[in-house]
A and B are shown apart, each in its own frame.
Chain A
Amino acid sequence: MLTVAPESGAGCQEGAIRHWSRAAIVGTLDVDMSTSVPMPLGGDPPGASSGPRVVHAAGSGTSGARAGTSAVAVGVAAAVEVESLSKHYGEVEAVKAVSFSVLTGEVFAFLGPNGAGKSTTIKMLCTLARPTAGRASVAGFDVERQPKAVRRHIGLVFQDQTLDDQLTAEENLRFHAVLYGVSHEQVAERIDRVLRLVALQDRRADLVSTFSGGMARRLEIARGMLHTPAVLFLDEPTVGLDPQTRALMWDDVLRMRDEEGVTIFLTTHYMDEAENADRIAIIDYGSIVALDTPDALKRQVGSDTVELVTADDAAAGARLASAGFQVSSGGDGLVVFAENGESQVARLVETAGVAVRNVHVHRPTLDDVFLHYTGRQIRETPADRSVGRSMRARMARRR
């Protein structure tokens, strides 16, 4: 568990939890990029929303938690273990011999474009599809030989809603509790707890048909946690949700991890969302092309760059170069390559010796990482099918 590592104490966890909600406050620093939209989970292209996270990553919060999780690697059983797992549909190789393991208590993200094999992998891990070759175990149970045991120990949140909207929130949860064998005495207590964890306790007696999309999604996460699973699988959990709801949902998920000790395995094609994970596996055309912590992945791509616009770029450039900085002059301003760019800003401004009009720190984003490993940008393809379905569902509900 996380507590094994001393540096991942409660303070760090808290930092991780409040990552999103606090970003706006933390993000107001002297650097001009902090004036960009302070909501990191915006529906706009992922790159545009990287601002506040740069600021945050400099703090102790997430990085501490991440270091802690990595430290756990020794001596803790893997929650998910996958060896050369493949799935063929006829001629199509949807998943090509992937191998990885997910540590207990970790938030693990599968990042890739639509059709990369994310969902197929998750389906095999959840025993909903049979692997063509290879081996996988979840919570210590083999997905092929012990499918029922696997299902008992996992929570599932699908891309499409799977609630009964003619039942109340509580009835949906009770149904789930019985099907997952939650003992009779525990049912009420667990329902109370998971509803409180997603702050829906006031809506427990309301029909799900009166819920917004975001509330329904949060109820599904609560339901996925009801039977205290070892691993919570989330397949594209935030598709179709507005930015605020996505942030709330992430608060829920991270709270589940911290308070219930569950391992989180999610797939996503949103870069900003993958940032929340302790480790990310980038999957493309059925193969894992990179697997590491978000910071490590970004470091592999390159160092931070600081863009300076000064009153006299030539003079400033010369001074900075002579101070040992690697400088290149762009069309408009200077670009300085620096490890840990933000902590260098003060020194750079001082060294430049002329009036600095504008500073912009650019840390490599996951977009850069994705581009680096796959040679192309990830595209936010609209989840046409799921949108169509939910629209239909909503219309049918009116009948």
Chain B
Amino acid sequence: MTVIDGSFQDVGAAPLVDERAGFAAELRTVGMVWERELIRFVRTRTRILSSFIQPILFLFVLGYGMSTLVGTTGGFDFKKFVFPGIVAMTVVTTAIFSAISIVWDREFGFLREMLVAPVSRGALVAGKTLGGATVATVQGTIMLALAPLIGVHLTVPLVVEVVGLELLMAVALTTFGVFVASRIQRIEGFQVVMQLVLFPMLFLSGALFPLKGLPAWLAVITRVNPLTYAVDPLRHVVFAAQHMPPAAAARFSTGVDLFGTALPLWGEIGIVAGFAVVFLGLAIAGFGRTE
């Protein structure tokens, strides 16, 4: 008898005879759920600010600290190397934690308002995912403002590419977060799970160190980590827009080798997209349990 939790009881599997299967209505729902996420994002200024603190700390402490150790190759240093990784980190963290609003909604009852509405679970999850992903992309893009400080050169086409990749990454990670949130009843539980999953994933994704020349066991772990395939394309496009001497390109390399061959960019993007689709399906299923 689940009275408090909102995760009840749809008869989603039952054959429906519905008067309104309108795709337009579903789209309107997606738009409204998305809009709500944005309204809430804009209203919680403290959250916006606090979500920048960690990446900025990483960028300056790690970036400057390691730069002295690693040194400069052809005018390229560790700060520049780590910058795309930090942008990815901002996007990933914001995306995953945006799903916490679902657990929050469950706690406050608003999830119930959504789940009893005559709309499909797919539309709700899609709206939530797009909302969280938009917020994460915005946060990641704001981080780009630090690029001149680091010495990373930005062009309009580069920013467009970066925003596109951020969006893909954000959608993938938000679906993952929504899936976890669909299975978890309490805020504390969500935070614990996310800390256990998020940080290992971030540290072992190549966001903070090059993936070439790793010990075999570490190489395997990074290749299994889906985040690896989200971080690398971002770094690839950023580096492609810099004037890197060959020595620097060799030292701070991009690209992921899988089974001895270099994975093409679209292959990496495909992996991330596949990850997003799988977790979108799992997330929708997660909200479709029956009493």
Contacts and interface: CB of A to CB of B under 8 A. Distances in A.
B3 A130 contact: no
A167 B18 contact: no
B112 A158 contact: yes
A147 B14 contact: yes
A167 B118 contact: no
Interface in B21-45: 22, 25, 28-29, 31-32, 36, 39-40, 43-44
Contacts, number: 111
A163 interface: yes
Given A162-B110, A179-B114, A147 B11 contact: yes
A393 interface: yes
Interface in A154-185: 156, 158, 160-167, 171, 174-176, 178-181
Contact of A175 (B18, B36, B290, B291): B36
A63 interface: no
Contact of B18 (A120, A144, A146, A156): A146
Given A123-B9, A146-B16, A179 B40 contact: no
A130 B291 contact: yes
B116 interface: yes
A398 interface: no
B20 A156 contact: no
B142 interface: no
Contacts of B17: 145-146, 149
A176 B113 contact: yes
A311 to B, nearest CB: 58
B32 A174 contact: yes
B107 A144 contact: no
A376 interface: no
Given A130-B290, A147-B14, A179-B119, A171 B112 contact: no
A89 B116 CA distance: 21
A144 B109 contact: no
Interface string B104-124: 010111101110111100000
A55 B36 CA distance: 50
Interface in A345-397: 385, 389, 392-393, 396
Contacts of A161: 108-109
A147 B32 contact: no
Q: Which of B11, B16, B31, B40 has the most CB of A within 10 A?
A: B11
- Majority secondary structure of chain B interface residues (helix, strand, loop or mixed): loop
Interface in A120-137: 120, 123, 126-130
Contacts of B109: 158, 160-163, 389, 393
B188 interface: no
B246 interface: no
Contact of B14 (A144, A152, A158): A144
B215 interface: no
B4 A181 contact: no
Interface in B77-135: 105, 107-110, 112-114, 116-119
B291 A148 contact: no
B1 interface: yes
A147 B16 contact: yes
A180 B117 contact: yes
A245 to B, nearest CB: 19
Contacts of A389: 4, 109
Nearest to B1: A89
Interface in A94-122: 94, 119-120
Nearest to A151: B118
Q: Which of B1, B25, B31 has the most CB of A within 10 A?
A: B1
A50 to B, nearest CB: 31
Contacts of B36: 164, 167, 171, 175
Contacts of B43: 166
B106 to A, nearest CB: 11
Given A128-B8, A144-B11, A178-B28, A393 B107 contact: yes
Q: Which of A156, A163, A164, A165 has the most CB of B within 10 A?
A: A164
What 3 A-B pairs are tightest by C-beta distance, nearest first? Answer: A179-B117, A162-B109, A178-B32
Interface of B: 1, 3-4, 8-11, 14-20, 22, 25, 28-29, 31-32, 36, 39-40, 43-44, 105, 107-110, 112-114, 116-119, 290-291
Given A181-B20, A389-B109, 5 more contacts: A119-B3, A126-B116, A164-B40, A176-B113, A393-B108
